[in-house]
Chain A
Amino acid sequence: MDLALILGGLTNVLSLTNISLVLLGTLLGLFVGAMPGLSATMALALLLPLTFTLEPATGLSMLAALYVGASYAGSIAAILLRTPGTPAAAATVMDGYPLSEQGQAGKALGISLFSSFFGGLMSGVALLTAAPLLGVMVLEFGPVELFAIAVLGMTIIGSLSQGSVVPGLLSGGLGLLVSTVGMDTTTGTPRMAFGNINLFSGIDFTVALIGLFSVPQALLLIEKTGSPSKVASAIKDRLVPKMSELKRLMPNILRSGCIGIATGLIPGTGGDTASWFAYNEAKRFAKDKSSFGKGNIAGVAAPEAANNAVVGGALVPTIALGIPGSSSTAILLGALMVQGILPGPNLLTDHGEITFTLIWAVIMANIALLVVGLMFTKLCVSVTRIPDGFVACAIITLCIIGSFAINNNFFDVGLMLAFGAFGYWMVKADISPAPMVIGLILGPVMEKSYKQSMLIGQESFWVFLESPIATVLLLIALLSFLQATPFFRWIKSLFKMIRSQ
C-alpha cells in the first residue's frame, strides 16, 4: 500500500465542503434509517444522481456518510417504538425496547450510538489496513461455506427459544415456511405463489419485518391508551454512557465488531444476519443469560456494533475485488462508475486516491455520526413524551408508507398488514417473532446455497466435509445445537455419577 495515496485520500476528505457534506449525509442517513421501510439502499440510490455534479471525493464521502448514518439510526425506532427502522436493527428490539419501557431509553440509545461508533470505526480501520488481505478471504466463501453459515445461524433460533422451546421452534419454522414462497431458483418456477405475480420473487423480508414488529406495537399502544402506567419521558437519564459501563461492554463490542466485519465480507450475508449473530454470541458469553430480552445493555451493544461494522466489511469485496458485498455497496460502485472509474481489483492501486478517500470517508462518517447522532437522538427521545395514541397512528402511517416504498407496490401494503395481524396474534399467544425473523433471513440463503452445493458436489453430502471452513462451521453449529438441548447436562450428571460411585 502506498502511503502517499493514503494521505492523499485523507487530505481529500478533510476539506471544508467535504466535512459539511459528510455531516449532511449523516443527518440524511439518520433520518432514513429511523424511518421503518426506508432503507439505506433506497436513499443511496436517490442521492446518487445528485452526487454526479460533485467532486468524486465529495460525492463518495456524502454517500458513505449516509450509509453509516442509516446503519445506526435503525436502532432509534427499535428502542423507542419496538419498530426496527432497518432490518439490521431487528435484534436491537430484543433488549432495547424493554430498556425504554423501564424509562432508560436515553441510556439504551447512548449505548447503541457508542457501540455503532466503535463498530464502524473498527471496520473502517480494518478497511484501511487489511482490505486486500480480507479480500482474499471473500473468495473462500462459496455456496458450500454459505450453507454452513446459514446452518450455524439457524442455531440462534434454539438459543432464542430457551425457556419456551415449542413456541420458539414454531415461530422459527413458520419463518422458514414463509421464506419458501417465490421462485424456485433451480427450476425457475414459482412455488406457493398462487399464480400471483407479486409473490413470484417471494415475500420481501422488510415487508414481513415491518408487519411483525410495528403493527402489533401500534395496536398494543392503542390498547394501553388511557392507562396512566406510561413511563415518564427519560430525557433525564444521560445519553452519553458512563466510562465504566463502556469499559465493561468493550469486549462485547470488539467481538461484535469482528462478527460484523466478517459477516459483511461474505457475499450473501449482511447487517440483518450479523446483528443476530452478535446478539447470540453476547448472550453466550454473558454470565447472566436470563437477563437478555429483559433489558440488558449488552443486548443493545452487540447488534449495533455488528451492524455498523458490516459497512466496512461489505466494502472489502467492493474495494479489493470490484464486486459489491451488499446492495448498498453496489450503489457505491455505481457512484464510482459515474466518476469514470471502472470498479475492479485495481481500485486500490490505479484509483488508490479515490478509494482511500472512500475509506477515510467511512472513518470520518463514524466520527460525524457520534456528533450528529447525539443531537439527533436527543430530539428523538422526546417521542416518549407524545401520547401513545398519537404514536400508534404515526407508526401505522409509517408502516404503510414504508412497505409501499420498498417496491412501489400496493400489494406489499396488504401483505404487511396481514403480517401485522399475525404478529398481533403472536404477541397475544406469547410467541416471540424473533425466531421467525431468523427463519425469514436465513431460509432463502440456506435453501439456495444447499441446492448450489448439491449441484457442485454431484448430489453428495461429502461436499460439506471437503471444505475445511464449512466443516468447522458445521461443528460449531452442532455444539450450539447441543448447548440448547439438555445433552451437556446429561453428560455432566453422568460424570458426577461415575465419580461418586
Chain B
Amino acid sequence: MHFGPHLLLAALEGLVTSAVLALTALGLSLVFGVMRVVNVAHGEFFMLGAVLAWAITTAIGGHPALGFLAALVIAPLIVGAIALVAERLVLRRLNYNPEATIVATIGMLYIIQQLALTFYGPEARPVEPPFSYRILLPWFGYSGYKLSVIATSALLLIATWLVLTHTRIGLVMRATQYDSETAQAFGIPVGRVYGGVFALGAMLAAIAAVLIVPISQAHYLMGQDPLLLSFIVVIIGGLGSLRGTVVAAVLIGLSDGIISMFFSPTLAKIIATLLVAMVLVFRPQGLFGTASR
C-alpha cells in the first residue's frame, strides 16, 4: 500500500479511538468540572458498560443489531444508576472533599473490578457488531461499523454541547460549575445536580464502551487504558472544557493511530505523555481551560 492510503487508514483508526476517547474523557471532565471530584473509578464505569453490553446481547440473542441497540440503551442506564448510588452512599457523605474522594474512588475502582471478576470472570468475551457492512474505498475496504462509531460519537458530543449551552439543565450545570454557593442562593439544588452529573459522566463512559466492545471485546481489566487516556485528554484539553476535551481527544487519538501504525504503539504513548508534561509545565490549566475561578 502507498503512503497516502496507508496514512488514510491510520487516520481512520485514530478517529475511531478519538471518538470513543472523547466520550469517555467528557464524562471524566464533566464530573471534575462541576463537582471538583477526580473520579479514579471512571474507567470501571467504562468496563461495566462493556460487560453489561455482553450480558444484554447474550441474553437477548436473535439478530445482533437487536441486542446491540438494547445494550446501547440499557447498559448506560444501569451504569448511571450504579454511579448515582455510589455518589449518594460515598461521595456525598465525604462532602465532596477533593482529597477524600480520590481515595474513595480508588476504593470504588477495586470494588467494581473485583465484582466484575467474580460475576463475569477473567475471560475476554466478544460482542457481535450490529452490522458487518464494509465500505470499499479505491485502496482498501473499511468497516462500516467503525465509521458509524465515529458518527454516533460526534452526534452525542453535539447533543451534549447543545444540552449544556441551550437548555435549562445545562444552565444549572454551568452555574453549579462556576460557583456552587451562589448557585444554591438562587435555588439550585446543588446536591441533586452533583448526583445527576456523576451519573451522566458514568453513562457517557458506558456508551463509549458499548460502542467499542464489538471492536475490542469485554474484559474486567479493560477500564485501565481508557482511564489513563482520559486523564491525558482532560489535562491537555483543560478540565471541565467540552471543546478542549474534543480537541485533545482527536489529537491524542489521531497521533495514537498514525504513530502506532508507522512507528510503534509505545512511541505513541511516550509522545502523549510528553505532551501532558509540556502542558502541565507551560499551560497547567490545559489548552482550553480557564486559569482560576
Partners in one complex: no
